[in-house]
Chain A
Amino acid sequence: MIPRHEAWLHWLFAGSMVALVALVGLAMWQERERPAQVAQRVIAPLGVVDRCELCHDADQHPGKILDSHPPDRFGCTPCHGGQGYATTRKAAHDRSPDWQQPLKTPSERLVACASCHQGSSPPEQADVAAGRQAFARLGCAGCHPTTGAARPDFAPDLSGLSDQVTPGWLRMWLQTPQKLDPRHRMPTFALQTDQIEALVAMLLERAGPKLLALPAHSGDADRGQQAVAQLRCATCHRIDGRGGNVGPDLSIAGSKLPAAWLYSWLMDARRLRPATPMPKFCIAEEQAIDIVAYIREQCVPDSGTTPWQEREGPVEPALAEKGRQLFGELGCSGCHPLAGKRAEVAGITLDNFGERRVEDLPVPTRGPVAADLAAWVAQKVLKPDAFDRPGQPRTRMPLLPDVSPKLAWQLGLAVASLRAPPPPPWLRQDTPAGPAMPNGKTAEIVERFQCLTCHQLGKAGGEVARVPLTGVGSRLQGPWLERFLQSPVTVRMNQGERMPVFGITAPEAQRLVHWLQSTQADARIEAVQTGQGDAQRGKWLYDKLFCDACHVLGGQGRMEGPNLDDVGQRLQPQYIQAIFELGADVVPEGRHPRVRIEAASARDLTAYLLALPAAATAAQGL
């Protein structure tokens, strides 16, 4: 037996046994947290196992979202975050070393919706949709290469700048573009004076295409002003505070742009800058010279001195090399091609940005630490230099113009919704292909007049014009459209943007109309049944339904909607009837009250509108 003097061995043995029993007891006590039964939803395609309903009741979920997202198909955690596997409150809700996705913040929940809804956003997702639009409009992909998103194509090629601007203007522009054009979307790079000098030297040394020779005689500014009004330049350009935002503000363009450049530009803008959205107007040399004269003489500052006058001065050509380097470092060519070429990329890719964790991103040196990805992006957009650290290179990210905190957050939602490829549809700048796009000669015409700068076609095109080209073949009558293209009348009186007068010839107009009618049909309109109606009763209905609350007819009514004077010649019968039957869905503006009348009454109204005597504008015999 164990000798007496080794009794400590017994104590040790007894102690270890007591400890073991106690520890096993502790383990059993810990087991009390384990549910006796597990209620779980396993959604294999999403890789989700959710045990939330051990405590929560899906039937008590507020709102109607579960009608379209039943828990047995979507589970809980894809929207709410948290650890679905967990069976205890703390483990399910909170962050732990083993689980990095605690319950989502409200904006993370929005991002969760958007991560799946990458196409058109549901109505609750207006913030995400706004952010996605801003992503393209602000040209984020210029610096941040993102799979699926094309580099922005709206910034001009910078070759031949010396034909166009003076060093003083360029210096001021590079400092803060919005001081010269308050609504311009070029961001502000915090440039030092020596950096600006280097860039100016580099930009002004590059020759562009040769300019046309300016005719010897000078034009007439008054005739030029008339021409500008006739051609409706204001649809795209602002002059003295009025006009569109597609092209640059022309208010003081005369003191910036030399006559020779203006003349070459007006005659054929695409020769100077192949990617410009500016259409080629078919105007005579004379008219061009008049417009040049108008811009040079009238579009100048009232005070007579340009804001950039005091910054004029000689350029140091030796700095051009440094400028080239800077141009690359800042990623200018992300947006601005140089002689058609783009090279450097300044920012990180935003692919899978949504799969990052905000804890892994840099912390700002001033300002609060962002709680989620969207807030982080907003912070970065609003204060790019808030993340700079002393001794480290300054951020190259510029300050985007006119971005409110809300828009920045919306942009953050959009960026945070980026997941692993394939790229989401909203990033792709779809160019219509196949039957939607014309080919051959028609394509040349569409290209020359840049129809898609303003009009939508499929998913492509601009939004300046209220009327998309898609479906226009089922809406408008051919002869009217042909006349309109050659000499556009104003249908929507209350709208500032009007179709410019391009000088489209009759054969060109014919060709365009043929293309639109043969390809741009709207099946919903084509399906509408027309028939004989009672025009008399139609007139009674017109008054009874208060159509004049929005439409003008024979000088009577308000100019909310399109003018109806020549509607019988303008619109196809089927389309008129479709408006009554289908309402806002088929109307370009997307806002026409749904007139709840039976089919017979719709036919009567249509008959009345079709029988209308063409009023003055149409009767001018154009």
Chain B
Amino acid sequence: MRAVLSSLVLHVHAPKVRPASLRLRATWALGLISVVLLGLLTMTGIYLMFYYFPHPDAAWRSMKDLAFVVPFGRVTRNLHRWTAHGMVALVTLHMIRVYLTGGYKRPREANWVAGVALGVLTLALSFTGYLLPWDQLAYWAVTVGANMAAAVPWLGQPLRLLLLGDMSVGEAALLRFYVLHCVVLPVAIFGLLAFHLFRVRKDGGLVVGQHAAAQIGTTTESSKLIPAWPHLIYRELVVAGLTTAAFLALALLLDAPLEPQADPTRTPNPAKAPWYFLGIQELAHSSAFWGGVFVPAATVLGLMVLPYLDTSEQGLGLYYPRQRRVAIHIFLAGVAFFVGVTVIGTWFRGPAWQWMWWPY
């Protein structure tokens, strides 16, 4: 048993790691927390699947049964909901951290690309899951999201049709989203996550301090290394415990929303996408193509090719090194822009997407 466990652990982690990578401020444990949340999501998700029927007549009722009848149904759904939102936020923060410390640079380019893909998968998982409660919030958020996808030139309408299986969100879309959410995307995210973690080890561990570029195994390095067990693994267990406790507390305190059953004949005004797409919806409001398609697509593609464009190897492992100030400023401006439009879309847009001076 021990052998199995340790070999599993040791496939993820090197037997020995640099002491600097254990410091909290090296990573703020953001990637680790994301993995823990994915684990929580998997467990709660399986429990929810026992009680969920992916059909318009029954889906919303399943939610009510979870809330009132299923043992631990309410807290499980709350936990699933809040960890899903948390994972979107944590994955984003993780990416910001990696950018700031230059973690995307050689030799970690491939892993950065995989990370961006994981981020996109996280959004896709959250978006597909958003529809499943089949309440008004879900229905119209997904309708808005699918309509934004339809602004893609040439491919827009076929893409939307492929996603929804119909001209509007209906039973076909619900089944597709269910299969994507419970089978296709989880398989993809776990596969890619395995690659991501494998590459972390293969690329020489974390980017930390002045020695970031150095490979593990050089003689000067190896004398300072410490064993992963217990030093690293124990810390990871602590983070996992704290994360679980925090989100469980949130789930017990705060109920996940459930609006009236989806009604295609009653459009809420405004109809808003999930919060992490509200920045894009805000942009799409000014221009469906430039704001809704071009900017997000260019952002994702730009992030993916970034390591191949920015090849300087200076200032790695530091948060605000002198050599990278321009790159960091540009990036932070982009982040601030997205945060800004998301805040505007979330709180400052009212009926008919009109500007509201008071948070709506």
Q: Measuring CB to CB, which residues of chain A are less than 8 angstroms from any residue of chain B?
A: 1-2, 9, 12-13, 16-17, 19-20, 23-24, 26-27, 30-31, 34-35, 38, 49, 51, 85-88, 91, 97-98, 100, 355, 420
Contacts and interface: CB of A to CB of B under 8 A. Distances in A.
Given A16-B238, A20-B245, A100 B260 contact: yes
Nearest to A96: B255
9 contacts: A2-B230, A9-B234, A9-B235, A13-B238, A23-B248, A85-B68, A87-B68, A91-B68, A98-B255
Interface residues of B, number: 30
B217 to A, nearest CB: 24
CB-CB nearest 7 A-B residue pairs: A16-B241, A85-B64, A19-B245, A23-B248, A87-B68, A16-B242, A98-B258
Contact of A27 (B61, B69, B75, B237): B75
Contacts of A17: 241
A51 B68 contact: yes
B243 to A, nearest CB: 9
A27 B249 CA distance: 9
A12 B238 contact: yes
B257 interface: yes
A30 B260 CA distance: 24
A1 B230 CA distance: 6
Contact of A38 (B61, B69, B235): B69
A26 B252 contact: yes
Interface in B218-247: 230-231, 234-235, 237-238, 241-242, 244-245
Contact of B248 (A13, A20, A355): A20
Contacts of A13: 234, 237-238, 241
B55 to A, nearest CB: 13
B108 to A, nearest CB: 28
A100 B68 CA distance: 17
A34 B72 CA distance: 9
Given A9-B234, A17-B241, A49-B61, A85 B67 contact: yes
B252 A23 contact: yes
A51 B235 CA distance: 48
Contact of B68 (A1, A9, A12, A86): A86
A518 to B, nearest CB: 48
Contacts of A88: 68
B325 to A, nearest CB: 35
Given A2-B230, A2-B234, A27-B72, 11 more contacts: A12-B242, A16-B238, A20-B244, A23-B252, A27-B252, A30-B75, A30-B252, A34-B71, A38-B69, A88-B68, A91-B68
A13 B68 CA distance: 34
Contact of A9 (B61, B238, B257, B259): B238
Contacts of B265: 420
A4 to B, nearest CB: 14
Contacts of A35: 69
A175 to B, nearest CB: 38
Interface of B: 61, 64-65, 67-69, 71-72, 74-75, 230-231, 234-235, 237-238, 241-242, 244-245, 248-249, 252, 255, 257-260, 265-266
A196 to B, nearest CB: 36
A597 to B, nearest CB: 59
Contacts of B266: 355
Contacts of A26: 252
Contacts of B255: 97-98
Contacts of B74: 30
Given A17-B241, A34-B71, A98 B259 contact: yes
Nearest to B22: A6
A110 B282 CA distance: 44
A16 B245 contact: yes
A1 B226 CA distance: 11
Nearest to A84: B64
A34 B68 contact: yes
A38 B61 CA distance: 15
A6 to B, nearest CB: 9
Nearest to B230: A2
A31 B252 contact: no
Given A12-B238, A27-B252, A34 B245 contact: no
Nearest to A19: B245
Nearest to A3: B231
Nearest to B265: A420
A41 to B, nearest CB: 14
Nearest to A85: B64
Contacts of A16: 238, 241-242, 244-245
Contacts of B61: 49, 85
Contacts of A34: 68-69, 71
Contacts of B248: 20, 23-24, 27
Nearest to A1: B230
B257 A97 contact: yes
B84 to A, nearest CB: 18
A129 B38 CA distance: 59
Contacts of A98: 67, 255, 257-259
Given A1-B230, A16-B238, A87-B69, A23 B249 contact: yes
A355 B265 CA distance: 12
A420 B264 CA distance: 13
B241 A2 contact: no
Contacts of A38: 69
A12 B69 CA distance: 36
A31 B258 CA distance: 20
Contacts of A12: 238, 242
Contacts of A97: 255, 257
B252 A20 contact: no
A34 B69 CA distance: 6
A35 B237 CA distance: 36
B260 A31 contact: no
A9 to B, nearest CB: 6
B129 to A, nearest CB: 18
